[in-house]
Chains A and B, each alone.
Chain A
Amino acid sequence: MGHDKRADAALEFRIPLVVETLSANPKPELGVAIIVPDLANANKQVSNLLLQALQSMGFAIVSPKLDLRVFLMPEQQWHTSIVELSAPELAAYGKAAPTIPLPSGRIYAVQYSGRYAYAEGALRIILSVNLMERSRLGPFRETTFPYSRGFFKDRLEQSVKAQLVSVRK
């Protein structure tokens, strides 16, 4: 949190990935790890988890096109729709990154891009955050000033973890 645009060029977060077995000891902690019956089915579960997390934040995955039979594969690049930041979200940003505030008098939106991979018993989500701005009547354009991309990474990470909790309840 509070990093500038250059400092966090490689945004990523990890979530433990556990293969559920009858003999697993200790039992994986619910709501903290992704628990999959076997690694062969992990991709679909991870894809759905990511999609649900993004949807809960108002995003859709616009590329690639997903349906019930098509899901995200490891290392496959995906891009979300562009979603405007609400006033509470802007206020949260202001609190989280007071040293690099977003200039006022603009409408902001965010687009995520990323891919996932498996590494060392964890799901690794590698992200790229694109903050855009526009006037009331103008189109969205990429911002040219530094901002905390870590804030937006944290937001998605929290959303993914919230999905873990809701799935396992």
Chain B
Amino acid sequence: MSAEQQRVVLTLVWTAGFAGCIAVVSGYMFNKDALGNPLLSWRDVLEVLQSVVAIYAAYLGAILASWFTKPFAVKADSGRAQIRFWVALVGAATINLAFAVWLGVGFWGDGVSLDDIKESRLVVGWLSFLAAPASIYYFGVRTPRT
């Protein structure tokens, strides 16, 4: 896989993570309890989406921007390109999956409130060490701490 293809794959992972998180949060509006009350109202969902978009604006926004900027000089391949790509891929997948799973805590947890769902943004900060080095290497950007 070429360096360009690897960047495409990582971009797709982040894009899919963003779409997945929006789907999870929106799902709260359509899931109802036994009495017909939605798990979250539209106003609640907007609050959660605000933090989801803020997080992805930092990560995915920088990644997308890199596609429209002049590529930086790539170092000669040291023979570890495959390993590096897999590390980046697993890191990106892990952080996106962890965020989506925590966002969905209202579906599988007991006694969960809106604040617990909004706290899911913490996991992105905790796991940023998994994604930040790869983002710097592949996209030449430094992702801010959340």
Binding site for B on A (CB under 8 A): 104-107, 133-139, 141
A137 touches B43 (CB 8 A): no
Stretch of B28-36, B53-61, B62-70, B83-91 that contacts chain A: B28-36
Task: Compute the total of residue contacts between A and B using a CB distance below 8 Å.
Answer: 42
Within 8 A of A (CB), among B37-87: 37-41, 43-44
B22 within 8 A of A: no
User: Which B residues are in CB contact (< 8 Å) with A141?
Assistant: 43
B: number of interface residues (CB 8 Å)? 16
8 extra A-B contacts, CB within 8 A, seeds A135-B39, A141-B43: A104-B36, A134-B41, A136-B37, A137-B39, A137-B40, A137-B106, A137-B117, A139-B44
Binding site for A on B (CB under 8 A): 28, 32-33, 36-41, 43-44, 106, 112-114, 117
A137 touches B114 (CB 8 A): yes
How many Å from the CB of B40 to the closest CB on chain A? 5
Most chain B beta carbons < 10 A, residue from A106, A133, A137, A138? A137
- CB pairs A–B below 8 angstroms (16 shown): A104-B36, A105-B32, A105-B37, A106-B37, A135-B38, A136-B33, A136-B37, A136-B38, A137-B28, A137-B44, A137-B106, A137-B112, A137-B117, A138-B113, A139-B44, A141-B43
How many Å from the CB of B26 to the closest CB on chain A? 13
B43 touches A136 (CB 8 A): no
